[in-house]
Every structure is written in structure tokens, then in C-alpha cells.
């Protein structure tokens, strides 16, 4: 019986996130203060107060990183595997001992900056479409000049596509004819996990070359391979590849089940991954820890 620790990605943030942990749990306060002091902007205000910057990628990513690691510190969590959704892979790497907290902060700040600067493109959530049909439609509306492809394979009936505006619009217009129940454009600053992130990826690769990655103490099921990884060089390479590659969350959860995982713990804001995991495989029972009360419940179990 193994447990997987799940780290959420963008979209889970909310105003006031982690404030109750900061105010009432000394371990969370120490962790958050280290993160706040390492940044050149006021993340504390962005997270704890009503601040429109929270939904801007360059600030969203450090906020989610901080909240997840505050929960880890507050609840003294272990785990047999870790899995982060997109941005969530970074706090997962800190928890697994691959990155130091200070290096994790540097990387999450750089990643957020680079992704926020990548203008152009579009993303859309597709509900209720067969995956093989989705791939076929992506290919049929793409050519040498414009492309659309899967970005987040979140659940059997939920996939996010990403790419050039014209290709995403063409896909969206035809998707219902191919079995989709709904297609919803996403309010994001760029076409994440697509070919349009190539420049950001190249700059990110150069940046992480100077940072020390250690072998993982806890296997990391990475978004790119959907396999448990412990080798530091493999993890670094795939962290970079992730910027233009799809988040294969469905396969990641299936891999966890194959490796004996029966329970999960989602650490950080809301419980998005809890819901997605249930859709993929109900054999994994996932709890989530977001608030101080949930930390206390977990510690009392």
C-alpha cells in the first residue's frame, strides 16, 4: 500500500491562500518566510490579500509553489511517490529532495516570468471527446504554419488543447461534430505546453543548467514520461521538456496504480487533482490538505 503526494498547478489559486497556515503554524510560517524573502516582489501580499496579480502567471506559479510547500511543512508529510501537475512538478521536486528550497524558488520565479512573456496562442478545455478522435482532429486542422495539440490530458473526458489561435479556433468549431460535449476557451496569457513555448523553453534550459539537481529520495512521476524517475539528469531534462510537452496526468495516475499506490494526498489550494484522480481510477482514495483545519485533521489521524 503506497501513497502518492499530489501538487496542483495553475487554476487552483485563491485570495487568502495559505494565510491561516502562516498565522497559526510555525513550520509553515518559516517555510513561507524563506520563500517570501527570496523573491523580488511581495508574494505575501499577493497571496494573503485581494490582489489581481494573483491570476498573472508570473505570480500565480510562485504562489502555488509556496502554498504546497507550506502544507508539506505544516503537516510533516512523507509519501512513496510524488506527482505535480505542470507547475506542481516544482514543489514536488523540492519535497523529493531533488532541489533545495532556495533553488526551487529561483526556478519557479524564472519559469513564471518566461511563461508570462510568451504572447500569442490560445488554450481550450475539451469535455467529453474520445482521445483518439481529439488527436485526429488536432492533426487535421494543423499544418506547417499553425498547430494545435493536447496540452493537459487531465481525465478520460477532459483534455486541454493548446496552440496557434487559428488552429485552436478551427478545432473548437469542429469539435462538437466529432463528439465533444463542450469546448471552453481558457483565460490564460499564452499557449502553455505547446510549440509556441519553444523560446521560453530554450531560455529555461539555459537557466537550469547552473542549478544543482540531486537524485530523488522519493520517486517523481514526471509529466513528460509518466514514469517514476529518480535520476537527477533525467528529471532536469524532462522538467525542461515539460514546457512544450503535454501534461500526461491520466497516464501518471495509471502508472501510480501499477506501482501499488492506493491512497493520495493533494497538498495545496483546492482539490482539483482529487477530482481528476477519481475520474481516472477510483482505486486511489485521495484526501486534500489546503487549510489549517485540514492539517489538524491529518495530524490527528
193 is catalytic: yes
Query: How many other C-beta atoms lie within 10 A of the C-beta of residue 30?
Result: 12
The answer to whether residues 14 and 275 touch, using CB atoms and an 8 Å cutoff, is no
Instruction: Report how far apart, in Å, the C-alpha atoms of 133 and of each of 25, 179, 182, 202 are.
Output: 49, 8, 14, 31
The answer to whether residues 146 and 164 touch, using CB atoms and an 8 Å cutoff, is yes
Q: What is the CA radius of gyration of the chain?
A: 18
162 is catalytic: no
* Residue 165 half-sphere exposure toward CB, CA atoms < 13 A: 7
Residue 120 burial (CB < 10 Å; 0-12/13-18/19+)?
exposed
Listed in order, strand segments (DSSP E) in 49-129 are 81-84, 122-127
Contacts of residue 94, defined as CB under 8 A and 6 or more positions apart, other chains included, come to 69, 100, 101, 104
Catalytic residue among 67, 142, 193, 225, which? 193
Catalytic residue among 67, 68, 85, 86, which? 86
- Residues with catalytic roles: 86, 193
Amino acid at each position: 500500500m503506497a501513497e502518492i503526494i499530489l501538487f496542483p498547478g495553475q487554476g487552483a489559486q485563491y485570495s487568502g491562500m495559505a494565510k491561516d497556515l502562516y498565522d497559526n503554524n510555525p513550520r509553515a510560517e518559516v517555510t513561507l518566510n524563506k520563500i517570501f524573502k527570496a523573491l523580488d516582489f511581495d508574494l505575501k501580499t499577493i497571496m494573503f490579500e485581494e490582489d489581481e496579480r494573483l491570476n498573472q502567471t508570473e505570480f500565480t506559479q510562485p504562489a502555488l509553489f509556496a502554498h504546497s510547500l507550506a502544507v508539506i511543512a505544516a503537516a510533516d508529510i512523507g509519501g512513496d511517490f510524488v506527482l505535480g501537475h505542470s507547475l506542481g512538478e516544482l514543489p514536488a521536486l523540492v519535497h523529493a529532495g531533488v532541489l533545495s528550497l532556495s533553488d526551487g524558488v529561483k526556478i519557479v520565479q524564472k519559469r513564471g516570468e518566461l511563461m508570462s512573456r510568451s504572447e500569442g496562442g490560445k488554450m481550450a478545455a475539451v469535455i467529453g471527446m474520445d482521445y483518439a478522435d481529439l488527436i485526429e482532429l488536432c492533426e487535421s486542422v494543423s499544418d506547417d504554419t499553425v498547430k494545435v495539440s493536447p496540452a493537459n490530458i487531465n481525465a478520460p473526458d477532459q483534455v486541454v488543447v493548446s496552440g496557434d489561435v487559428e488552429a485552436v479556433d478551427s478545432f473548437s468549431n469542429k469539435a462538437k461534430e466529432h463528439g465533444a460535449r463542450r469546448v471552453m476557451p481558457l483565460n490564460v496569457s499564452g499557449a502553455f505546453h505547446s510549440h509556441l513555448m519553444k523560446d521560453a523553453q530554450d531560455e529555461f534550459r539555459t537557466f537550469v543548467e547552473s542549478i544543482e539537481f540531486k537524485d530523488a529520495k522519493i520517486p517523481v512521476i514526471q509529466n513528460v514520461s509518466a514514469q517514476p524517475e529518480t535520476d537527477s539528469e533525467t528529471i532536469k531534462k524532462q522538467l525542461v521538456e515539460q514546457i512544450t510537452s503535454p501534461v500526461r496526468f491520466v497516464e501518471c495516475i495509471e502508472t501510480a496504480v501499477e506501482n501499488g499506490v492506493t491512497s493520495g494526498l493533494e497538498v495545496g489550494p483546492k482539490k482539483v487533482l482529487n477530482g481528476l484522480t477519481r475520474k481516472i481510477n477510483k482505486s486511489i482514495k485521495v484526501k486534500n490538505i489546503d487549510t489549517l483545519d485540514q492539517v489538524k485533521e491529518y495530524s490527528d489521524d
